[in-house]
């Protein structure tokens, strides 16, 4: 999914619930109200580049919902080569034409703001310092192909600055023209590290019990909401997943606690990565049901995780979720909404080219429906 990598162009669209009595047979997508919104890149040196205009605009449809790739909130947020940021004026200016291209096609565009925490290397950190985390425990070098360096545990008095990095990033995203931000609290990155009890070994107010471990995430949500408004804020979580060895002993309790705690802020949505196991290339098995978390959260609920046309329809029709996020499928099918409606043939994504540094090849040359054989 988007967020695993600096340049993995797995951007997102949605499918939505509908009140028809024949929900199982409804074409996708169908309309969904998300707060004030009616829904229907590549970078070098952390600066988005112009070819991202083509990539995102290709995947924009009228009232379609896009979430940008994971975007760094500060100089310490880096962990992958060529990943975009939004902490400098130059980065903000570089995002503007990209966002403008999406808006010209009447799309809705959120910026996913993220620091990777310990999923980093000395080379990406200022002055070659250790990556920051909630712990001194590192990620096993070589895990998912990364040369990860041992992190250092943030001091308690440093945490407000990290919270402020998110606030400033959200402010910058709005200045760049984005409609809102998605706080990245998943995939084994910094917020996820704080929340998971197999990573977080702190003994002060940000560690120990579940409430303390979630304090960092909720302080970030509060700061961002106060800065740009709750209607412009979403958050992505992965309580059940073990990305980068970020494991929790009671993921359902974690998910439920966060869902209930987030309700008081009235944010636009909660986006959860569904735990699935691959059975075949086109078939997944759901390992845990997200329905208790869905019922606990009062706003728009979004799921992601290997959905296809068929099980996506079913999940929305049965009120399992409000929206479904597509990643790989949208990467390979820039006109995915059109392909979903007539049950047209879908392009296959080329996994071997999802991490290459070439700014043009593959990401923008997947064929559109009218150009398909």
The CATH number given to whatever domain includes residue 221 is 3.20.20.70
pLDDT band at 24 (very low <50, low <70, confident <90, very high): very low
CB burial readout 87-121, b (16+ within 10 A) else e: beeebbebbeebbebbbeeebbbbbbbbbbbbbbb
Q: Model confidence over 169-211: pLDDT tens digits?
A: 999 999 999 999 999 999 999 999 999 999 999 999 999 999 9
343 domain-assigned: no
Range of the domain at 54: 41-306
Q: Which residue has the higher pLDDT, 172 or 33?
A: 172
Burial state string for 319-353 with b = 16 or more CB within 10 A and e = fewer than 16: ebbbbbbbbbbbbbbbbbbebbeeeeebbebeeee
Checking if the pLDDT of 260 tops 50, the result is yes
Active site residue 320: no
User: What per-residue confidence (pLDDT) applies to 278?
Assistant: 61
Cis peptide before 29 (omega within 30 of 0): yes
Domain count, the chain: 1
Which residue did the predictor score with more confidence, 46 or 217? Answer: 217
Q: What is the mean pLDDT of residues 161-172?
A: 98
Helix axes 159-176, 210-228, angle to 10 degrees: 30
Confidence of residue 103 (pLDDT cuts 50, 70, 90): very high
Q: Is the pLDDT of residue 1 over 70?
A: no
Question: Does residue 373 belong to any structural domain of this protein?
Answer: no
- Taking alpha carbons only, the member of 136, 12, 128, 148 closest to residue 80 is 148
Say if 97 falls within a structural domain.
yes
**pLDDT tens across 273-332, in order?**
998 766 655 566 666 789 999 999 999 999 998 788 888 888 999 999 999 999 888 888
Residue 256 has pLDDT above 90, yes or no: yes
Q: Does the predicted model carry a pTM greater than 0.85?
A: yes
In a domain, 329, yes or no: no
Instruction: Tell me if 29 is assigned to some domain.
Output: no
pLDDT at 161: 98
Residue 11 in 3-state DSSP? coil
Asked whether residue 224 is domain-assigned, the answer is yes
For the chain, the maximum distance between any two Cα atoms, rounded to a whole number of angstroms, is 61
d(CA 341, CA 156): 51
Is 60 among the domain residues?
A: yes
The confidence score (pLDDT) of residue 351 equals: 73
d(CA 142, CA 28): 40
Q: What are the residues whose beta carbons fall under 8 Å from the beta carbon of 47, sequence distance 6 or more?
A: 84, 85, 90, 91, 94
Looking at residue 373, its pLDDT comes to: 42
pLDDT tens digits along 222-243 = 999 999 999 999 999 999 999 9
Considering the candidates 189, 257, 320, 363, report the single residue annotated as catalytic: 189
Residues in CB range of 356: below 8 A, 6 or more apart: 7, 362
When pLDDT is cut at 50, 70 and 90, the band that residue 340 belongs to is: confident
Confirm whether 354 is domain-assigned.
no
């Amino acid at each position: 999914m988007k967020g695993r990598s600096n340049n993995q162009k797995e951007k997102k669209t949605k499918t939505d619930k509908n009140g028809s009595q024949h929900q199982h047979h409804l074409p996708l997508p169908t309309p969904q109200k998300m707060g004030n919104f009616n829904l229907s890149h590549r970078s070098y040196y952390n600066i988005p580049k112009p070819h991202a205009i083509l990539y995102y605009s290709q995947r924009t449809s009228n009232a379609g919902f896009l979430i940008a790739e994971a975007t760094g909130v500060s100089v310490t947020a880096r962990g992958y080569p060529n990943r975009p940021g939004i902490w400098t004026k130059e980065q903000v200016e570089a995002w503007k034409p990209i966002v403008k291209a999406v808006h010209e096609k009447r799309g809705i565009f959120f910026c996913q703001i993220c620091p990777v925490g310990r999923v980093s290397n000395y080379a990406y950190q200022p002055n070659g310092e250790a990556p920051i985390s909630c712990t001194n425990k590192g990620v096993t070098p070589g895990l998912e192909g990364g040369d990860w360096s041992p992190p250092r545990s943030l001091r308690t008095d440093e945490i407000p600055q990290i919270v402020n990095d998110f606030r400033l990033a959200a402010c910058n995203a709005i200045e760049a023209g984005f409609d809102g931000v998605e706080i990245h609290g998943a995939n084994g990155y910094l917020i996820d590290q704080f929340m998971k009890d197999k990573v977080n070994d702190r003994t002060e107010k940000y560690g120990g019990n579940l409430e303390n471990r979630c304090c960092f995430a909720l302080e970030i949500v509060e700061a961002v909401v106060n800065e740009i408004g709750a209607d412009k804020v979403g958050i992505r979580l992965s309580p059940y997943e073990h990305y980068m060895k970020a494991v929790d002993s009671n993921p359902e309790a974690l998910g439920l606690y966060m869902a209930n705690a987030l309700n008081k802020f009235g944010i636009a949505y909660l986006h959860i990565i569904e735990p699935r196991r691959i059975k075949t290339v086109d078939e997944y098995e759901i390992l845990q049901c997200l329905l208790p978390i869905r019922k606990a959260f009062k706003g728009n609920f979004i799921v992601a995780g290997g959905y296809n046309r068929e099980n996506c329809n079913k999940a929305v029709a049965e009120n399992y979720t409000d929206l479904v996020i597509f990643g790989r499928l949208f990467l390979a099918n820039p006109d995915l909404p059109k392909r979903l409606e007539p049950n047209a043939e879908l392009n296959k994504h080329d996994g071997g080219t999802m991490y290459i540094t070439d700014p043009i090849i593959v990401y923008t040359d997947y064929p559109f429906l009218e150009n398909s054989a």
